[in-house]
């Protein structure tokens, strides 16, 4: 699933108010019940429990294997460095 960016730029209006763009409001499910004591609360729609997504610790050997598998070949590494340096060197 591709996640669409939620960042939006809003301007402060003359009376110190901001308008939440309608698309953002729909996507975040913001409605009149979202406002409490002059504030808006944006809460996650669903929290994941540890039972649903159990965590575990990786051994040093597993971490080392992950790092080895992630290592870039010299040609790709040179391309990445060139791109990170703004196309020079």
Q: Please write the tens of the pLDDT for every residue from 59-69.
A: 999 988 988 88
- Please give the model's pTM, rounded to 2 decimal places: 0.31
Q: What is the pLDDT of residue 45?
A: 55
Q: What is the pLDDT of residue 61?
A: 92
Measure the CA–CA gap between 31 and 43, rounded to whole angstroms.
Answer: 12
Q: Is the pLDDT of residue 2 over 60?
A: no
Q: What is the pLDDT of residue 1?
A: 46
Enumerate the domain spans of the chain.
1-42, 56-89
What tens digit of pLDDT does each residue of 31-44 get? 777 776 777 665 55
Measure the CA–CA gap between 19 and 25, rounded to whole angstroms.
Answer: 10
Give ∠ CA 12-18-23 in degrees, rounded to 5. 125
Measure the CA–CA gap between 78 and 47, rounded to whole angstroms.
Answer: 41
Cβ neighbours of residue 50 under 8 Å, at least 6 residues apart? none
R_g of the chain, CA atoms, integer Å:
23
How would residue 81 be classed by pLDDT, with cut points 50, 70 and 90?
confident
């Amino acid at each position: 699933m591709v996640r669409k960016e939620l960042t939006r730029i809003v301007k402060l209006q003359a009376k110190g108010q901001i308008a939440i763009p309608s698309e953002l409001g729909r996507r975040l499910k913001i409605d009149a019940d979202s406002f409490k004591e002059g504030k808006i609360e944006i809460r996650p729609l669903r929290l994941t429990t540890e039972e649903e997504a159990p965590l575990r610790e990786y051994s040093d050997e597993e971490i080392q294997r992950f790092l080895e598998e992630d290592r870039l070949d010299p040609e790709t590494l040179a391309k990445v460095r060139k791109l990170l340096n703004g196309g020079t060197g």
